[in-house]
Structure 1
Amino acid sequence: MTGLASKYKRGLVVGKFCPLHKGHELLINRAREASEELLVVSYTKPEFPGLDPARREGWLRAQFPQAHVVVLDDARLGVLCAARGVPARTLPHNDDDGDDHRHFMGWLCWTVLDLPVDAVFSSEDYGPGFARVLERYYARAPVAHVSVDQARTLVPVSGTLVRQDPQAHAAFLSPLVRASLVTRVFVLGGESSGKTTLSAALSAHFGCPWVAEYGRELWESQDGILVYDDLLKIGREQLRREAQAAMQAQRWLFCDTSPLTTYFYCVEMFGKAEAELLDLAGHAYDLVVLCAPDFPFIQDGTRRDDSFRLRQHAWYQAELARRGIAFVNVSGSVDERIRQVAQVLTA
């Protein structure tokens, strides 16, 4: 590795980061240490499922808050071009010639971002040629290339390997990235529809964590009394506990309710809800499981009645459809429901 004794004004790292792994982090950290400023650019065309620009941007900004992070798709690039008043272009395809990508980056840094660089950091053999192309764009002092762990001896992994099975290569992912790649399953259902029983049973079946319903815990601790402000508290705490559990999960995480449930009860009990709770109700999951109200209704002293359960179930169906959220209906015994969920998760 060369060039790290120098202090560059602005370094550049470009990658798909699909997903961001420790090899990428090594590269970016070396670039950050050797540069006064650091520009990190991520793009891929086509996109990889579950690795959208917003998710990649979240990882990069969280792990490298001092860097100038630019994560692109064609729409985001169009917005940048419009802001700069330059003709819009589209991203090069992943299979396009390497020179197309190099010239695209030269145009992006110089014309769109107005962030010229004097060093390119990479772990690939295209790095020196990339630096020469940027020099031609800038018509200025040479652009250095700094190679970092090109032989993959320090971090023996690649994005392709991690994409094939992120959990099998979890050791090469930071806790933040690993947690965000856990498949989160939201188990939803009306009162006495078996959602808590199913959540716990799925956890036992798959050997992974589950997140219990915080609202019920708070209700019990307050002797069955909830006030309006408690509902937003419940929504926030439910997601906090979910995020905490995801840090420990290996592959799947089952969530008994979400802020969508809390939002329903808030409107049902008080006729209104805070805007933040409505926003939390849109929290996304990888799979939504809706339990059919085909269990005999059991009154445990906290529930309404069977007619309320049916109305609640209908509201969930309508609300999920209105939000464009796909869901899986499960019915029958607990074992039958487990089999129905397993068919989806292991397909």
Structure 2
Amino acid sequence: MKRFASGLVVGKFAPLHRGHQRLIEAAQEACGRVVVMLWSEPDFPDMPTDVRAGWVQALYPGVTVLPFASGAAPVPPPNAAPGEVHRAFVREHLPFPVDAVFTGGEAYGEPLAETLGAEHVVVDRRIEGLSGTAARVDPLSPEAELHPLVRGHFVQKVAFLGAESTGKSTLAQALAEATGEPYVEEVGRTLWVEADGDLPLAEYETICREHVALEDQAVQRARRFVFVDTNAITTQEYAFFFFGTCPPEVQAYAARCRERYAHTFVCAADIPFDQDGTRVHPQVQQYMDGAIRNDLTIRGIPYTVVGGPLAARVAQVRAALGV
């Protein structure tokens, strides 16, 4: 039998680090059920409330997670509000009575527990080598020691788009080699070659799904960047070009590109067209270049055009990324 029927953990979890995890795990060990209340007002633009709540829920599916997003009802109190305001908010929105409040010893713990008629349980969150400050200032630093799920959020995926034979693959691979970061190949081209250019429309969703899976795997190997050859926007444009239509699943993948990639580079069609036997036609290159740029503009996705020989392109990208 556990010590408490129910327990509460409150925090911003910005980002969720091993100290926070120790706190939640201590609550789980001691309580039959645990609720985590999470908010920050103002919110963190680079890791908004729903993202932080998603981390907690994914790592602790047995916990009740209550996120309160900035600007959404019920509106959470400002971070600078008096303690009694925060305590009243917790008491009003607590989904069930709790017997214990778990903290790392912060000053708010005792008065909050008293307000809720609960016991204050102090958990030693200190972990040798862990720096909470480092986790906030630079989540990708070794000292942050974030869970791979959390750390992956801060790795920047860099997409290289463009028409056929514009040097996307060569540039992405060159950047990966120069920086020691992972490279994700264009799944669509691989399947296109395997199908000898006769790829059915039904396979376009497979392209997107497998491509995203490779990106997610690469994120776990990355230090700061993942260099990606093409994304679902290109897949969508080719579906429209060859079939006059595009599956809604592919369009959904394309819609997520705005949030998924930190940087988008478009390779200019300023190098000789290389007909290696798998490509369509130079005129298609011109069409796709315009279609991709138009799509990015409509979606409001900022992009940088890179051109010239490979060395110049690498230099342009490195300057833009600051690496």
* TM-score of the aligned structures, taking structure 1 as reference length: 0.86
Q: Distance in 1 between matches of 2:172 and 2:127?
A: 42
* Match status 1:214 vs 2:196: no
* Match status 1:157 vs 2:135: no
| Counterpart for residue 84 of structure 1 | none
Contact 1:213 1:257 in 2 (8 A): yes
Contact 2:160 2:267 in 1 (8 A): yes
Q: Distance in 2 between matches of 1:155 and 1:48?
A: 25
> Aligned to 1:249, what secondary structure does the other structure show?
coil
The CA RMSD over aligned residues, in Å, is 2.0
Which shows bigger deviation, 267-276 or 201-210? 267-276
| Counterpart for residue 238 of structure 2 | 265
| Counterpart for residue 331 of structure 1 | 307
Contact 2:306 2:313 in 1 (8 A): yes
| Counterpart for residue 123 of structure 1 | 104
Q: Distance in 1 between matches of 2:71 and 2:285?
A: 43
Q: Residues 155-199 of structure 1: CA distance to partner in whole angstroms, max 9, x if unpaired?
A: 7331x3212111213662111112222111111111111111110
* Match status 1:241 vs 2:220: no
| Counterpart for residue 76 of structure 2 | 91
Q: Residues 189-239 of structure 1: CA distance to partner in whole angstroms, max 9, x if unpaired?
A: 111111111100110121100100111112222333211211111111001
| Counterpart for residue 143 of structure 1 | 118
Alpha-carbon distance, 1:346 to partner: 2.1
| Counterpart for residue 225 of structure 2 | 252
Aligned length: 319
* Match status 1:73 vs 2:69: yes
Contact 2:172 2:183 in 1 (8 A): yes
Alpha-carbon distance, 1:36 to partner: 1.2
The code of the aligned residue for 1:128 comes to E
Change (3 A) 1:96 1:338: farther
* Match status 1:188 vs 2:168: no
Q: Distance in 2 between matches of 1:333 and 1:262?
A: 26
Change (3 A) 1:297 1:153: closer
The code of the aligned residue for 1:116 comes to P
| Counterpart for residue 266 of structure 2 | 290
Match among 11, 31, 34 for residue 30 of structure 2: 34
Structure 1 runs (4+) deviating above 4 angstroms are none
Contact 1:22 1:155 in 2 (8 A): no
Q: Distance in 2 between matches of 1:177 and 1:41?
A: 18
User: Structure 1: where are the runs of 5+ without partners?
Assistant: 82-89, 135-141
Contact 2:131 2:143 in 1 (8 A): no
Contact 1:23 1:157 in 2 (8 A): no
| Counterpart for residue 294 of structure 2 | 318
Alpha-carbon distance, 1:115 to partner: 2.5
* Match status 1:305 vs 2:281: yes
The code of the aligned residue for 2:198 comes to I
Alpha-carbon distance, 1:75 to partner: 3.6
Q: Distance in 1 between matches of 2:130 and 2:172?
A: 37
Contact 2:233 2:295 in 1 (8 A): no
The code of the aligned residue for 1:20 comes to L
Alpha-carbon distance, 1:154 to partner: 5.5
Alpha-carbon distance, 1:250 to partner: 1.3
Q: Distance in 1 between matches of 2:143 and 2:277?
A: 44
Q: Distance in 1 between matches of 2:212 and 2:77?
A: 38
Q: Identity, % of aligned pairs?
A: 37
Alpha-carbon distance, 1:306 to partner: 2.7
| Counterpart for residue 177 of structure 1 | 150
The code of the aligned residue for 2:113 comes to A
Match among 242, 254, 259 for residue 281 of structure 1: 254
Which shows bigger deviation, 310-319 or 236-245? 310-319
> Aligned to 1:281, what secondary structure does the other structure show?
helix
Q: Distance in 1 between matches of 2:308 and 2:186?
A: 22
* Match status 1:341 vs 2:317: yes
Alpha-carbon distance, 1:6 to partner: 5.0
* TM-score of the aligned structures, taking structure 2 as reference length: 0.92
